[in-house]
Structure 1
Amino acid sequence: MLSQFGVTVVTASNGREAVSLVRDDHFDLILMDVQMPEMDGYEATRLIRERFDAVDLPILALTANAMHGDREQSLAAGMNGHLSKPIDPGELADALADWLHDRVEGEGRITSQGVKEEEVGGMILNEEVALPRVAGNVDLYLELLQQFVDEYGSSFHKYEDLLGEGDFEGARCLIHAMKGASGNLGMERLFEAARSLENELKGQTSETISAQNRFKNMLGKTLEAIQQRLVRKNDRL
């Protein structure tokens, strides 16, 4: 799955091998399976953290156990975040975009479809990518599109209101939620615009205004594309 995101992948068969690889080579991100032979992912992370902190080398936990305490245990071991198996491609794309953003600048940006923005630019509404996430159920997909319109159709006005109230964290959380929803529903360009705006909001840089304008413009185009698709409810791929 990772190869489709345009990243170079190195695998380890157990925790000891993972620690050894990190000691001998350079990595931008580690996806750490917590259940491995010889040494589990938690112990491997603790050893890696003796050399690299969470900023220099992000580590995301992978676990098949979606238990309440998994996230807390992962963070306590020194991991930056947590992904549950089976891995959802949209969630994986979000994680890669979040943690590899600064490391791929100038080389293309990871999107929810695993391509570089400079190469193809993405699609406003990519139904072929989104349908597998709903088991090919077109009716469910259209229902989710309508829910997106209902929930986020006026989101930019809400975003502006939050900024006006000085609630920058609330504004960032709103954009983050839209980033996840748009990525899962195949809204490639809106996902990228939301990801860019969220990153600018984290740093409050001089590019925030232009990122806001790009997001507003792409939200309008995406909503228009959704409305056109909903009109064609009888169409099937």
Structure 2
Amino acid sequence: MGPELTFRSGLHDVVPTTFGYIGVGLAFGVVSRTSHLSLWTVLLMSLVVYAGSAQFIITSMLLAGSPISAIVFSAFLVNSRMILMSTSMAQYFKRYSLATNVGIGSLLTDETFALGMNKLNDTGHKLTPVWFNTANVVAYLVWAAATVAGALIGNLITDPKAFGLDFALVAMFLGLLYLQMISDRSKKLGLQLAVVAFVAVAVYGLLIFLSANFALLGGTLLGCLFGMVVARWR
């Protein structure tokens, strides 16, 4: 990454993250085809829902004959973390129009959020719609293409896990976390490691009482509070 916030730099910065989209997208396409969803259904879901974990859940619930209301509510819970991410990212686009903010927020994903947070370390904590829209749109198109490709080859791959496709998203997030920690010079590495460890323990503890999605949200909020308190104490 560099300090540029142009279309070209947005394209350059987002390309490495697309490999994660490709791996998970192929896995979803394969799973959807083995679940007897049509190619057009796969494409439409990827363009409208645009959420890997939610799409896997929707597919399984459709296969089980779940009511639409339950499917919509489940998809909302799975993606409720995006409320926190959008709120955090919105502060960098206050001087832009509502339409611009809605456009950026509509295509925001875990990956482009992490990419944006990493980019802040090189740009003096500034972002532009051109850079972010480029990253968002490229990721959006790659995801849709990957899911369709997975659906097309769904009859050839019966077990995506045999190729490690189910681990692609985890591996990508580990890489983004590593880049965030080594590039953020405003915070000491020890503090960042402490927050990561605290969040991991908090989520593990909350899983005893809450669902995975609520545990993730709770762990994130507690991690923010923990980091703020420790940073001020130091």
Asked if Structure 1 and Structure 2 have the same fold, meaning a TM-score greater than 0.5 normalized by the shorter chain, the answer is no
If asked which structure has higher relative contact order (CA below 8 Å, sep 6+), I would say 2
TM range, normalised to the smaller chain? Answer: under 0.3
* TM-score between both structures, scaled by the size of structure 2: 0.26
* TM-score between both structures, scaled by the size of structure 1: 0.26
Judging by fraction of residues, say which structure has more helix: 2
Judging by fraction of residues, say which structure has more strand: 1
